[in-house]
Amino acid sequence: MSRLEELPCELPQSTVESSVNPAAIAIQFESRLPILMHDDLAAKPVWRDLLALTGTLRTFYTSNVLLAWKDNISRARAHSFKAKPELCRVVRIESDTQWVDTFYSFQTDAVPASSCIAILSLVPNTNGEWKIWAIRTVLDQLSGERNVDFLEPADPTMYQATSPFSTTIECAVIGAGQAGLSTAGRLKALGVRCVVVEQNAEVGQNWKSRYNSAKLHTTREYAHLPFDRTFPGDRYPEFLTKDDLAGGYREWTARFGIDIWLSTKLVSASWDEQEQLWSLALEHSNQELILRSRFLVVAIGAGCQQPFIPTYSNRDKFQGITVHSGAYADSKEWTGLKGVVIGTANTGHDVAEDMVDAKLASVTMLQRSPTYVLPAEYYTKILNRTYNASTPTDLADMVGSSQPFAVSRLINQKVLHAAAQQEPERFDALERAGFRTIRYGDIVYQLFERFGGHYMDVGCSEKIARGLIKVKSDALPVSYTETGLLFNDGTQLDADVIVFATGFQSNLKVQMKDVFGSAIVDKLEDFWGFDDEGEVRGAFKLCGHPTLWFHGGTLAVARYYSRFIALQIKAAAVGAPFEIYSQSRLNV
């Protein structure tokens, strides 16, 4: 069960007349925002702040909204709320779930002074009065500093990755995936000298090294890196392949002149309390060097790419091939063999489909627990509302990614469950084929708490329903045999090749003990999943050490939240760190 289910959050049941003027409603609340009263709020309000007023990322619910709002409006010295009528809009999720979003700019004078954005989600009550059911406040820019959302392109013909050398810099970023690149770009935009440490030999190799058929199941417009449309529609397909991503990342890195040390591994990291510096032991070309930095961002995601493979007895008996999906390329050399895939999430389906295309004699998916199947077109419909060619990515992120996670979860469920109800046969056919299906799932839970485990259906479900891919879901494997697998009900399954699409180790904190040591790691929050306010644990904000951040997530999450990491680092670098509103977590 998702931690978000326990929070007192619900979508409004309301309709908005077509004659409503959102801009006029926005004006009504300009003067009321600094002095909100109980009568301004709906029955169960929610407020999410992203660095604007609380100095961190927090979400408040019900009666705590007004208490925390008054505390932080005063504490941050917020003023000059001005409506932005060009952004105000009516939001219609379903016929009975509608509201008005109004947008405002405002300033804060507390250290660090800043310009911010507020978004109110308003619903009419029975008397026709507009009430606030959701508030979002977002740090836009630090006053007097460069724009975190803009970086002038460099001359890509002059770009060359630098060779590592022992030195001292302001910030080191570990990892050159979407999280690391986004963070490094934002830091450069703010004038913070930064180096990205990447263990692979080239940018994008973490994507390039994946299996040949790997591609995104979300749309191109969702996938850009900061500052531009990294994957323009005239050059790239709607669903990017792994090579599209790798190539786009390399071009973006050269275009914006990101300083990256390739083929360089972080061996260990220690903190010098007296000098207030990190000392990073790096390995490059079999030589060790020391990089010292004031700030450190670990941007390698939650999974660490250490394969998880379940263990079964008598492995030595099996005469066939076993491989984890992390080392899998394709199925072309297995034509005519009997293939088994253990795991039924995205990768498992991709591998099974590869096997069908490679004409294996038989293909069987081994399902150990029910799987949430989400047709890609359902999710694309949601994404396209916000992420599309006519909406700047920065604006799409602010609208789409600033929502309280508990609200995002409910919106997704409302739309996706309604779509699934319209196509029962699609899921019934999978059940008849033996595939245990969760048709009314929770994509926010899958992405932020379950670390995946779902299937975004881009066509493989039909092959299962047609019998091209068999499913064994009525027992669990306990042992290898000479010809395949033995199950706990006594049945056997023949196999010549077994692919483990069973994911990767998912506790970054545990994995980082070898690098940081227990003295530092034991003080850190766990990484990923939700805390008791519905914020992501240990990510995007300080997590237990005053100069250390962890970053990861989907393409849009990595892009959007990198701006808040960079803004925190810039504020600290100029001697104006955010003062965190540390009122103990209020009852929700």
- Cα–Cα distance measured from residue 211 to residue 243, given in angstroms and rounded to the nearest whole number: 10
Q: Band of the pLDDT at 480, cuts 50, 70, 90?
A: very high
Instruction: Give the pLDDT confidence score for residue 159 in this predicted structure.
Output: 72
Condensed to tens digits (0 to 9), the pLDDT of residues 544-579 reads 999 999 999 999 999 999 999 999 999 999 999 999
Residue 588 has pLDDT above 60, yes or no: no
Condensed to tens digits (0 to 9), the pLDDT of residues 1-51 reads 799 999 999 999 999 999 999 999 999 999 999 999 999 999 999 999 999
- Calculate mean pLDDT across residues 304-312: 84
The Cβ-side half-sphere exposure at 282, using a 13 Å CA radius, reads 29
Q: Which CATH architecture has domain 168-304+516-527+537-552?
A: 3-Layer(bba) Sandwich (3.50)
Per this entry, what is the length of the chain? 588
At the topology level of CATH, where does 315-500 sit? Answer: FAD/NAD(P)-binding domain (3.50.50)
Q: Band of the pLDDT at 445, cuts 50, 70, 90?
A: very high
Reference 265, options 292, 249, 250, 285; nearest CA is 285
User: What are 73's two structure tokens?
Assistant: 């409006």
Condensed to tens digits (0 to 9), the pLDDT of residues 88-101 reads 999 999 999 999 99
Q: Which of helix, strand or coil describes residue 311?
A: coil
**Parallel, antiparallel, or unpaired for β 371-375 and 470-472?**
unpaired
Does CATH number 3.30.70.60 belong to domain 3-142? no
Reference 470, options 366, 343, 320, 342; nearest CA is 366
Q: Band of the pLDDT at 380, cuts 50, 70, 90?
A: very high
Instruction: Give the pLDDT confidence score for residue 166 in this predicted structure.
Output: 82
For the CA atoms of 460, 373, 397, 244, the dihedral, rounded to the nearest 10 degrees, stands at: -20
Residue 584 has pLDDT above 70, yes or no: no
CA-to-CA separations, 550 to 145, 166, 282, 407, in angstroms, rounded: 24, 23, 19, 24
Residue 78 dihedral angles phi and psi, to the nearest 5°? -80, 140
Query: Which of 162-176, 248-262, 476-490, 569-583 bottoms out in mean pLDDT, i.e. has the lowest?
Result: 162-176
- Calculate mean pLDDT across residues 54-62: 97
| CB of 340 closer than 8 Å to CB of 325 | no
Reference 312, options 483, 476, 527; nearest CA is 476
List of long-range contacts for 523-527, beta carbons under 8 Å, 24+ apart: 524/548, 527/302, 527/552
**Where do the structural domains in the chain lie, given as residue ranges?**
3-142, 168-304+516-527+537-552, 315-500
Cα 19 versus chain centre, distance: 37
Q: How many CB atoms lie under 10 A from the CB of residue 114?
A: 26
Question: For residue 58, what is the enclosing H or E element?
Answer: strand 57-61
User: What are 200's two structure tokens?
Assistant: 């692979």
Residue 288 dihedral angles phi and psi, to the nearest 5°? -100, 140
Instruction: Give the pLDDT confidence score for residue 585 in this predicted structure.
Output: 54
Q: Band of the pLDDT at 587, cuts 50, 70, 90?
A: low
- Cα–Cα distance measured from residue 280 to residue 272, given in angstroms and rounded to the nearest whole number: 11
Instruction: Give the pLDDT confidence score for residue 510 in this predicted structure.
Output: 78
Share of the chain above pLDDT 90, in %: 91
Q: How many CB atoms lie under 10 A from the CB of residue 32?
A: 14
Residue 163 has pLDDT above 80, yes or no: no
| CB of 341 closer than 8 Å to CB of 351 | yes
- Write the CB contacts of 467 (distance below 8 Å, at least 6 apart in sequence): 433
Cα 461 versus chain centre, distance: 25
- Cα–Cα distance measured from residue 448 to residue 451, given in angstroms and rounded to the nearest whole number: 6
- Calculate mean pLDDT across residues 467-479: 97
Q: How many CB atoms lie under 10 A from the CB of residue 155?
A: 9
Instruction: Give the pLDDT confidence score for residue 286 in this predicted structure.
Output: 92
Instruction: Give the pLDDT confidence score for residue 303 in this predicted structure.
Output: 58
Residue 402 has pLDDT above 80, yes or no: yes
Q: Band of the pLDDT at 304, cuts 50, 70, 90?
A: low
Residue 57 has pLDDT above 70, yes or no: yes
Cα 579 versus chain centre, distance: 26
Instruction: Give the pLDDT confidence score for residue 562 in this predicted structure.
Output: 99
User: What are 417's two structure tokens?
Assistant: 């469950």
Instruction: Give the pLDDT confidence score for residue 509 in this predicted structure.
Output: 76
Identify the residue with better confidence: 2 or 374.
374
- Calculate mean pLDDT across residues 316-333: 96
Residue 496 has pLDDT above 70, yes or no: yes
Instruction: Give the pLDDT confidence score for residue 451 in this predicted structure.
Output: 85
Q: Band of the pLDDT at 145, cuts 50, 70, 90?
A: very high
Identical fold, 3-142 and 168-304+516-527+537-552: no
Residue 516 has pLDDT above 80, yes or no: yes
Instruction: Give the pLDDT confidence score for residue 440 in this predicted structure.
Output: 98
Residue with tokens 């058929």: 213
- Calculate mean pLDDT across residues 440-464: 95
- Rounded to the nearest integer, the mean pLDDT of the chain is 95
Condensed to tens digits (0 to 9), the pLDDT of residues 197-236 reads 999 999 999 999 999 999 999 999 999 999 999 999 999 9
